[in-house]
A and B are shown apart, each in its own frame.
Chain A
């Protein structure tokens, strides 16, 4: 591997620093506790992987939660059958979700555009329904797949006697509770980001962008585009599987709802909100959605009543009634509104907003207020 270009290296180091320091700089936001931080990492990985498919090739999958769910189930099965150690679980989950993505991708990629999206959605819903019904022996249906004391764990038992007590996933014997779990997941997010960065900056990544921009030209230029899109699909499926497995590490219970279409839609929202096609955008999108989900869904009527207490009687209860529709269970209403606003005013997501502001600062001293149609630099 050749040395990284300077800008890429700076971006990577900056990203690493921001991630590792999260327990510190998220303190004032009240988000610096391990459970939430782990979710930031996990959904960051999910979004980074999704962006390799959607951001680079332009193929919009509405079924990536299926790979996420498969990753979770595979990890829990590895805990049950092989070992409580997380390393075999993660490898197993990545391989299984990769194979699953290969099959679904091979079929779905026969079509493009909206038909591709519908096919992926259909496959994901099929997986979700099967997990609830015929696949109950594997998925344990509605109850969800759990660890029990009587699990065989052949690998563990071959090496040492079963440890009594509640089975919990470990890394080489170390517990992954609290901040250890966060740093474990953070390590994977950093690796995931690094790989995504390499892919984006490689000839392969440029071909994916070529496919997004003009597939016809790619054909007449001598490229067989199918294996390129399939490779991108499988890679992003493996990312989703890794994310799902990490969720099973922090909470070893896999349920079918992780595969539902709302979960697939969520990663689409994260990517578009942050900025599809950019490297950090999807991660920021994932963090923001998970952060606000955490805040908004925790607010209930009594908190709202205290908040609007300063208003005169009658008005305050009206405000509480209106506002309560947007919090708690109604958090998705807020998310939808934010999404509509972003797509209308900032179609390139938050990263486009950042670029616009940077552009404003760069150009302001030279030609103030002059809308010069500067040839825009390519990505």
Chain B
């Protein structure tokens, strides 16, 4: 077999906030097409790591390499244009706009780039983009709500719509920050099914999650983070049997 293609490489990343060493010596390789989960107790640095990858925070040292290009120093919009999309812990959506427009905006970003002064073109004439957005909404089962204001959706629907906003860009890498947090069991299962469906299309994903049910039903590989360090790395079975992981999780419970 040939060498697996590493899409994302977090290389020797450190992040300090004053005296706090939030991330230490993080080395992480995400292979193409895989779902890579990052788990760990609260305060382990999971969100910090995600923010470093997406360009919201600059690493104190080390770098993040995506598909051969360093992400250090790039702005979030440039990182997105390289093919990385992100689902937030609290959905970041356009609350005042319709569901359809919420999904059309990212599709336009994909087609037109970071800036285009197309102010004399009518939105109604964007039939291709509109069709694409409607197909996407159909995929996530939200076509019926397309004309509602996004802000009036239920929490679960907001998340599904945000996922649709990311998926319509066909990103090479999708970052998911606790995609099922605060969801009912039913909504969680729907989301898992949806994420499995994406996986079959070969999209690479990095997922941060608390819910072990979600992690073990989706992940190909798991990295365990505790106190800013990766303490274990491997397939779900390897991680499950790792004594250090059990200590990190159970140790906090005492």
Chain A residues with CB under 8 Å of chain B are 1-2, 4-5, 198-199, 201-207, 209-210, 212-214, 216-225, 227-228, 231, 375-379
Contact = CB atoms under 8 A, between A and B. Distances in A.
Given A221-B106, A375-B148, A376-B152, A204 B118 contact: yes
B88 to A, nearest CB: 8
A131 B119 CA distance: 34
A224 B77 CA distance: 6
Given A203-B126, A376-B152, A223 B94 contact: no
A228 B121 contact: no
B77 A375 contact: no
B92 to A, nearest CB: 4
Nearest to B171: A222
Contacts of B104: 206
Size category of the binding interface on chain B: 35 or more
B113 to A, nearest CB: 8
Contact of A210 (B76, B77, B97, B149): B97
A220 B101 contact: no
A221 B119 contact: no
B109 A375 contact: no
B176 interface: no
23 contacts: A198-B120, A199-B119, A199-B120, A202-B123, A203-B118, A203-B126, A204-B119, A206-B97, A209-B96, A212-B96, A213-B95, A217-B93, A217-B94, A219-B76, A219-B77, A220-B54, A220-B80, A220-B85, A221-B105, A222-B109, A228-B115, A376-B152, A377-B148
Contacts of B152: 375-376
Contacts of A206: 97, 101, 104-105, 108, 123
A336 B93 CA distance: 36
- Interface majority SS (helix, strand, loop, mixed), chain B: mixed
B75 interface: yes
A202 B75 CA distance: 26
A378 B148 contact: yes
A209 B110 contact: no
A221 B109 contact: yes
A231 B101 CA distance: 21
Interface in B137-172: 147-150, 152, 165, 169
Contacts of A376: 149, 152
B159 to A, nearest CB: 14
Contact of A214 (B85, B94, B121, B122): B94
Contacts of A375: 148-149, 152
B97 A379 contact: yes
Contacts, number: 130
Given A375-B152, A378-B150, A223 B77 contact: yes
Contact of A202 (B80, B122, B148, B149): B122
B117 interface: yes
B254 interface: no
Contacts of A199: 119-120
B14 interface: no
- Interface majority SS (helix, strand, loop, mixed), chain A: helix
B116 A204 contact: yes
Contacts of B169: 221-222
Contact of B119 (A205, A210, A218): A205
A213 B108 contact: no
Q: Which 8 residue pairs are nearest across A and B when measured between Cβ atoms?
A: A378-B98, A222-B80, A204-B119, A222-B109, A224-B114, A2-B125, A378-B149, A217-B92
A221 B101 contact: no
B124 interface: yes
Contact of A221 (B75, B126, B165): B165
Contacts of A207: 105, 108
A170 B18 CA distance: 68
A2 B80 contact: no
Contacts of B81: 222
B211 interface: no
B86 interface: yes
Given A207-B105, A375-B148, A377-B148, A213 B96 contact: yes
Given A213-B95, A218-B105, 16 more contacts: A198-B119, A199-B119, A201-B122, A201-B123, A201-B124, A204-B118, A209-B97, A219-B80, A220-B80, A220-B86, A220-B92, A222-B110, A376-B149, A377-B148, A378-B101, A379-B96
A1 B120 contact: yes
A227 B113 CA distance: 12
B105 A210 contact: yes
A216 B75 CA distance: 12
A218 B108 CA distance: 11
B118 A222 contact: no
Most buried by A among B85, B112, B120, B150: B120
Contacts of B94: 209-210, 213-214, 217
A61 B125 CA distance: 32
Nearest to B87: A220
